[in-house]
Amino acid sequence: MSTFKIEVEDLIGLVNDDTMISDTLTDAAAEIINLLPKELLWSVSEVSTTQDTNGYSVESARIISVFRERGVDDEFVACEPVEIRFERHLQDINSLFYPSINLPKFTLKDAKIYVYPTPSASNGFQARSVAYPTVVHGDSTIAVFPDGLEFIVVLGAALKCSIRLMSDVLGNIPSAITLPTAPTAPAAPVYSYTDATGASIAATAIGSFGTAPNYTAPVTTPDFSTFDTKIGTNDYEEARVIREKIDSQIAEYSSDIQNQLNDLNKQNLEYQGKIQDEITQAQLDQQRLMQSALITTDVDKQNKIQELAATVQEYQANLALYQNDIQIYGAKSNALIQDYSSKVQRFLSEYASRIQSYPLLLERYNSALKPLIGDSNGR
């Protein structure tokens, strides 16, 4: 017999989190116990020992019924359930809610049973309840659970895992791309040529590049927790409305991501283009100034010209190295942008796949439950 983990993953694919599978199986089992009619739970219910004081804890169980003795040992009368807001009236002899030994009542407060008239050693009470089972991913059966209904628990757990996985997919999308730091342009040399009688030579600095582009992803916060809660309370119509809202949020989020990536690519190309233009202009200016000096300076000054030429050539060599660094910077930036874009598309594709399969899974869950609990929401 296959384990619950295998059955869940057959429905929604690999989960990679055994603890989550166990937790969702346990939660689904408790939710189904709370939804099922009491008639289907008698066979798996248990009766407590006789309690002679109020405050019997039922935190991890669903109460099926409560019985109180009426002055004779082991002669029990069924207690009528009353909302906790009427507890004060249960102790007011003038209230219509005031109980008697033949018409006892009980209420639940802080997951504990309180019976009225107040129990005593000779007038105790018993509670019939169904304990919420702890279900582990490696199990293949649930010991105390209605026969033949474990498959609904698997469906419920698969729904919960699917919701969690959809949320995780969005949470795994990187929030930002950190582009490498742009290289620093070489400082323009300081030329000294006081002996020349020809044209003066001035250093040409590289112009400003502006601010390097960066990227911050848009933010979205789909309300998966409320969606899960509505499923757990069998409020499928409200769950459908919430899911449609989530779908709309994700579509807008995907569009915003792509728009911002396109804008980043555009900014990055413009930034690298400006860098190349400034470098080229600096190189041209240096060449023009050297040519001007060579033409307008007499022969006696050639030694000085050669010294200047060496300085200019060194600066141009530094510009060439800087240009190479800029090309490397551009290649790395483009690679990071492409990698980020690829990751985003992969995550959004996985999300789209899961959201498309979710309604089919939900329909199977509803179809399995509806014959057992009826159309409790009037739909």
Report yes or no on 130 lying in a domain. Answer: no
Quick one: 151 and 191 in the same domain?
no
By C-alpha distance, which of 180, 167, 182, 56 is closest to 119?
56
pTM for the predicted model, two decimal places: 0.64
Identify the domain containing residue 341 by its residue range. 172-373
* pLDDT for residue 379: 34
Task: Indicate if 253 and 329 belong to the same structural domain.
Answer: yes
pLDDT at position 195 is: 46
* Residue 232 scores a pLDDT above 60: no
Choose between 131 and 301: higher pLDDT.
131
pLDDT at residue 300 in the model: 47
Q: What is the mean pLDDT of the chain?
A: 79
Could you tell me if 194 and 100 lie in one domain? no
| pLDDT, tens digit (0-9, with 9 covering 90-100), for 1-34 | 799 999 999 999 889 999 999 999 999 999 999 9
Model confidence pLDDT, tens digit, residues 310-368: 766 776 677 677 777 777 877 887 787 778 777 777 877 877 777 778 888 888 998 99
Of the segments 187-196, 228-237, 257-266, 301-310, which one has the largest average pLDDT value?
Answer: 257-266
Domain count, the chain: 3
Q: Give yes or no for a contact between 76 and 48, defined as CB atoms under 8 angstroms apart.
A: no
Q: State the average pLDDT over residues 46-59.
A: 95
pLDDT digits (tens, 9 = 90+) for 275-293: 777 667 766 776 666 666 5
- The pLDDT, as a whole number, for residue 196 is 42
176 and 319 part of one domain = yes
Residue 310 shares a structural domain with residue 228: yes
pLDDT beyond 80 at 138: yes
Residues 213 and 112 in one domain: no
Please compute the mean of the pLDDT values over residues 164-176 and round it to a whole number. Answer: 75
Distances (CA, A) of 54 to 43, 80, 114, 204: 26, 16, 5, 92
Same structural domain, 144 and 182:
no
Q: From CA 231, how far away is CA 233, in angstroms rounded?
A: 5
Peptide bond into 117 cis (omega under 30): yes
Percent of the chain at pLDDT exceeding 90: 37
In a domain, 46, yes or no: no
Of 119, 14, 23, 5, give the one whose Cα is nearest residue 66.
Answer: 119
The answer on 266 and 156 residing in a single domain is no
Phi and psi at 236, nearest 5°, equal -70, -30
| pLDDT score for 281 | 72
Residue 198 has what pLDDT?
Answer: 44
- 132 lies in some domain: no
Which range among 86-100, 103-117, 210-224, 301-315 shows the weakest confidence by mean pLDDT? Answer: 210-224
